[in-house]
Amino acid sequence: MTPEDQEETQPLLGPSGGSAPLSRRVFLAAFAAALGPLTFGFALGYSSPAIPSLRRAAGQALRLDDDAASWFGAIVTLGAAAGGVLGGWLVDRAGRKLSLLLCTVPFVVGFAVITAAQNVWMLLGGRLLTGVACGIASLVAPVYISEIAYPAVRGLLGSCVQLMVVTGILLAYLAETIFEKAKFKDSSLASVIVGTIQVLFTAMAALIMDKAGRRLLLTLSGVIMVFSTSAFGAYFKLTQGGPSNSSHVQLLTPISMEPASASVGLAWLAVGSMCLFIAGFAVGWGPIPWLLMSEIFPLHVKGLATGVCVLTNWFMAFVVTKEFSSVMEVLRPYGAFWLASAFCIFSVLFTLSCVPETKGKTLEQITAHFEGR
């Protein structure tokens, strides 16, 4: 065993059987690191309430048309992709702690530029800067937390990264667009409901992560997403026929004792499908990839490897965010969701065939598994 490997066998703030003061230090340090993801969750969710307001802006210079609104929502993920590359370099050169501190600079500057914006280009520039900060934070925070935590709580603390993100968002990133396509009157309320479900189920996943294990939760999450996206696709297929099938219903309206119409029943199919998808995503594919990313790579390649992971994640998020409406137009809404269902099936098969269980293992044991030792 090399000295580098020996470093990976011990967490930085106390062994698994450590004293209570050391355990408290682990949780405090993890909370401090997770404040970055809380901020980038806010940055991600900011576009949802901001875009409608900017569409109605009194000044022509700040008013967003459809194309500018699309870029305002999507450019943060493009910045995050660049931030992932920068974060991979920073984490090895400047260290974990300093990298977390440095990511506050583009956050502060980005929001300052948005606040003082005089035209659309300043708005987009501010969003791009906050995106860079998001990319750095989404890489450094999971890596730092995985290295300070001992195996018995690494799943719990690592999942808190995603918990802080969804707390910052409290909005589903595409929920409002989807619910508007489904012809709900109050798409903002729907987004708040979806965001609340995401927070609650992410918290639940964090609590059971070190008991249930990563593989089980990823598989369960994928199966739930398969059924929910298939059901949502079926909803759009059933309602494509005409205006009589539209689901113009108010969410959370008290259910009367009279028989519900077919359209109302289909509307609740849409609501149920979306909520089920968010719950399924939150217990597995939301928090666990960030956790696994920080667990499976050895120290000598961790910066580069996690940088590639974050770059891939945020670039694909950019593609989906920017082109989601176009995909819905080309494939029709039901086709877009059935395509998503096919990807979810692939995720289940990939988990069962390729993903190792890391629950309760030290980082050195996980590295040894991949090296065949």
Q: What is the DSSP string of 97-125?
A: HHHHHHTHHHHHHHHHHHHT--SHHHHHH
Residue 84 near residue 133 (C-beta atoms within 8 A): no
Q: Is residue 6 part of a domain?
A: no
Cβ burial of 221 (10 Å; 0-12, 13-18, 19+) is buried
pLDDT at 321: 79
User: How many CB atoms neighbour CB 174 within 10 A?
Assistant: 18
- Name the residue with higher pLDDT: 135 or 251: 135
Answer whether residue 250 shows pLDDT above 50: no
- Domain boundaries, position 224: 24-371
Q: Is residue 232 part of a domain?
A: yes
pLDDT at 245: 40
**Residues in CB range of 258: below 8 A, 6 or more apart:** none
Report the C-alpha gap between 134 and 151 in whole angstroms.
27
User: What average pLDDT does range 64-79 have in this prediction?
Assistant: 86
Least confident stretch, 9-23, 51-65, 157-171, 305-319: 9-23
pLDDT at 13: 55
* Mean pLDDT of all residues belonging to the chain: 81
Q: Is residue 52 part of a domain?
A: yes
Answer whether residue 258 shows pLDDT above 60: no
User: What average pLDDT does range 8-20 have in this prediction?
Assistant: 51
Residue 91 near residue 140 (C-beta atoms within 8 A): yes
pLDDT at 226: 95
270: pLDDT confidence band, cut at 50, 70 and 90?
confident
**pTM of the entire structure?**
0.76
Report the C-alpha gap between 51 and 67 in whole angstroms.
12
Answer whether residue 9 shows pLDDT above 60: no
Report the C-alpha gap between 120 and 54 in whole angstroms.
10
Residue 303 near residue 156 (C-beta atoms within 8 A): no
Highest mean pLDDT among 19-28, 170-179, 221-230, 233-242: 221-230
pLDDT at 260: 44
Q: How many domains does the chain have?
A: 1
Report the C-alpha gap between 146 and 151 in whole angstroms.
9
pLDDT at 251: 35
Residue 115 identity: T
pLDDT at 283: 92
**Residues in CB range of 371: below 8 A, 6 or more apart:** none
Report the C-alpha gap between 35 and 280 in whole angstroms.
25
Report the C-alpha gap between 348 and 276 in whole angstroms.
17
Share of the chain above pLDDT 90, in %: 26
pLDDT at 216: 93
Q: Is residue 18 part of a domain?
A: no
Q: Nearest CA to 146 among 133, 134, 132, 160?
A: 160
Largest CA distance in the chain: 72
Q: Is residue 98 part of a domain?
A: yes
- Name the residue with higher pLDDT: 58 or 154: 154
Residue 69 near residue 55 (C-beta atoms within 8 A): yes
Q: Is residue 8 part of a domain?
A: no
Residue 225 identity: M
Tokens 């490997």 correspond to 5
Answer whether residue 292 shows pLDDT above 60: yes
Least confident stretch, 22-26, 133-137, 213-217, 344-348: 22-26
Answer whether residue 103 shows pLDDT above 60: yes
pLDDT at 43: 86
Least confident stretch, 86-90, 201-205, 259-263, 296-300: 259-263
Share of the chain above pLDDT 70, in %: 82
- Looking up residue 218, the CATH number of its domain turns out to be 1.20.1250.20
Q: Is residue 11 part of a domain?
A: no
